[in-house]
């Protein structure tokens, strides 16, 4: 019986034997994932923790913040500001980036996160999660600026999410495949449970908020109507639909059994390119999905190649099983 492999052992292997990650990045990832453990504990307390419901504040997106949004954000800031690995952080819950205070040493990395994605589901006990992404401070930058975060997703050094569900699971890539770790609450450690995950290239399952149908662009209407037509339609087979309305939960299902997740742009706000945020939702998820053999586009181009213009910019998202993402992307490119 081989002893379980901890996250630390997994990262040391990537650092020592494969030379894939520098020691400072390993230490940063250990701090971030330790903060995710604390968030998991806060989430699992539910009403008993006194932290359900609204915080009475609003984030930069104009969305009302829940108490646990604020708690999760503060947990990540407090855990990461003193260690000396980071130059700055950016969060869905903060208008501007957060430069490491001068009382602490600054490091070479930038950390971006959505501290509690899907948080509107918390009060009804549906899975939520933390999404994070690591970039390198641009060469020559001394004092980090907000524009230093505006790097394409191909420059990510690591990305991951923690999904707080029946069990808490961490999914991580440092560019050498995708591994999952389950939180062993007795030992208090993330324990390797799967490595080198592969997303099935074909699927019979799709995820989209179908109530937005009247707002979709023609390529999305065509793609979804073909799925709905099932065996009698052009696809010749039946499809099934799932929509948790918590991206981490939907993506977690897809990386395990295949599927396609879609949040298209729609014509409610023509200038808005989508609902999800590029830098700390779409990019980390796209990195993970591609590392697991899937694909991720905005309908017209690879998400990881999009050049960001603003910190909180939004993007349309089509990600998951390669064949389906390629098909719906081809429909967009046909015009
Ligand atoms: P809708 C959660 O608010 C989120 O950002 C993602 O986690 C989720 O996939 C999406 O929005 C759900 O959006 O419009 O279906 O509520």
Half-sphere exposure of 29 (CA within 13 A, CB side): 30
8 A C-beta contact, residue 78 and residue 293: no
Distance (angstroms) between ligand 1 centre and the Cα of 51 equals 21
Handedness of CA 224, 230, 234, 237 (dihedral sign): positive
Low-confidence ranges of the chain (pLDDT < 50): none
Which residues does a 6 A CB cutoff place in the pocket of ligand 1? 117-118, 120, 209, 245-247, 275-276
pLDDT digits (tens, 9 = 90+) for 156-190: 999 999 999 999 999 999 999 999 999 999 999 99
pLDDT digits (tens, 9 = 90+) for 22-62: 999 999 999 999 999 999 999 999 888 777 778 888 877 77
Task: Map residue 251 onto helix, strand or coil.
Answer: helix
How many secondary structure helices (H) and strands (E) does the chain include?
7, 17
Listing DSSP states for 26-70 in one string gives HHHHHHHHHHHHHHHHHHHHGGGGT--SEEEEE-TTSPEEEHHHH
- CB neighbour list of residue 16: distance below 8 Å, 6 or more residues apart: none
Which atom belonging to ligand 1 lies closest to the Cα atom of 261? 9
Retrieve residue 301's tokens. 């181009």
**Domain extents in the chain:** 7-194, 205-333
Distance (angstroms) between ligand 1 centre and the Cα of 273 equals 15
Residue 113: predicted pLDDT = 98
Domains 7-194 and 205-333 share a fold: no
Average pLDDT, the chain: 94
Residue 1: predicted pLDDT = 52
CATH superfamily label, 7-194: Fructose-1,6-Bisphosphatase, subunit A, domain 1 (3.30.540.10)
Domain 205-333 falls under CATH 3.30.1360.30: no
Listing DSSP states for 89-132 in one string gives EEETT-SS-EEPPTTS---SEEEEEEEEETGGGGGGT--EEEEE
Distance (angstroms) between ligand 1 centre and the Cα of 118 equals 6
């Amino acid at each position: 019986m081989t002893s379980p492999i901890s996250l630390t052992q997994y990262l040391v292997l990537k650092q020592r034997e494969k030379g894939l990650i520098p020691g400072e990045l390993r230490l940063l990832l250990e701090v971030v994932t330790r903060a995710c453990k604390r968030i998991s504990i806060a989430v699992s307390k539910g009403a008993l923790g006194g932290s359900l419901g609204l915080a009475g504040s609003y984030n930069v997106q104009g969305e009302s913040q829940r108490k646990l949004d604020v708690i999760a954000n503060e947990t990540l800031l407090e855990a990461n500001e003193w260690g000396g690995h980071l130059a700055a952080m950016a969060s869905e819950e903060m208008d501007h980036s957060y430069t490491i205070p001068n009382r602490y040493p600054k490091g070479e990395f930038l950390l971006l996160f959505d501290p509690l994605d899907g948080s509107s589901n918390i009060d009804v006990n549906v899975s939520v999660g933390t999404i994070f992404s690591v970039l390198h401070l641009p060469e020559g930058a001394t004092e980090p600026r907000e524009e230093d975060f505006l790097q394409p997703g191909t420059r990510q050094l690591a990305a991951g999410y923690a999904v707080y569900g029946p069990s808490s699971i961490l999914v991580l890539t440092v560019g050498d495949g995708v591994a999952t770790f389950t939180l062993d609450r007795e030992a208090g450690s993330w324990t390797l449970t799967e490595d080198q995950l592969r997303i099935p290239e074909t699927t019979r399952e799709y995820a989209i908020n179908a109530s937005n149908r009247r707002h979709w662009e023609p390529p999305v209407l065509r793609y979804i109507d073909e799925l709905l037509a099932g065996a009698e339609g052009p696809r010749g087979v039946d499809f099934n639909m799932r929509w948790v309305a918590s991206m981490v939960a939907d993506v977690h299902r897809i990386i395990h059994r295949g599927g396609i997740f879609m949040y298209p742009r729609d014509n409610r706000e023509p200038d808005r390119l989508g609902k999800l945020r590029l830098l700390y939702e779409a990019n980390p998820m796209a990195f993970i999905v591609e590392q697991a053999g899937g694909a991720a586009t905005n309908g017209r181009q690879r998400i990881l190649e999009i050049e960001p213009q603003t910190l909180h910019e939004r993007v349309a998202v089509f990600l998951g099983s390669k064949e389906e993402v390629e098909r719906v992307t081809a429909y967009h490119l046909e015009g």
